[in-house]
Amino acid sequence: MARKHRDVEVITRDTVFQGTFRVDRYRLKHRTFAGGWSEELSREVFERKHAAALLPYDPVRDEVVLIEQFRAGAYAAGRDPWLIECVAGLIEGGETPEDVARRETLEESGLKLLGLERIGGIFASPGAVSEFVDIFLGRVDAAGAGGLHGLDREHEDIRVFACPVHEAIDLLSEGHILVGHTVVALQWLAIHRDDVRQRWT
């Protein structure tokens, strides 16, 4: 059952870092499951804009289009920093998640959307990050999908490739896909693939 904001008492909220992104330190209390209030807590929160992610899917060819790019966070974690993902981007002022899904699909994969369906949404790391990601499945024509894409002004270096759905699921099962929203999108497609193909072909 959803709790209300009145079940949280914010004592102070201070910005402790401001760069491309922001870090705020909260001192707060919250109602407990046992009744009453918690002790005062101090929590740093990485304040990041919300985002939209989209898995491009060609129901005729039964292929998904994935991207690969360098990720500094994965490098800092000691992992392979070139990650396989679906397209995604931050939601700017005045944009809807659907707007961003369309924009990022074109910018990051060079593909035009022929249909759009919302899958759901996730918090990537809600203990410390404010970002919420809306996830979509997008209908595309994957013929000729590939090459290098991305915006120079954002220093994007993105490799685009299409692969059959069963191969993408194998990549996921073998631990080659580690980005949360991409994992969710591929698992959703694995469950709903027959229904989607019936509706989209």
Residue 39 known to be catalytic: no
Which DSSP symbol is given to 10?
E
Catalytic member of 9, 154, 167, 174: 154
Torsion over CA of 87, 88, 93 and 97, rounded to 10 degrees? 80
Give the rounded distance of the alpha carbon of 157 from its chain centre: 18
If we measure between CA atoms, which residue out of 97, 48, 71, 58 comes closest to residue 177?
71
If we measure between CA atoms, which residue out of 107, 108, 118 comes closest to residue 86?
108
Task: Report how far residue 165's alpha carbon sits from residue 59's, in angstroms, rounded to the nearest whole number.
Answer: 10
**DSSP H or E run through 135:** strand 132-139
Active site residues: 154
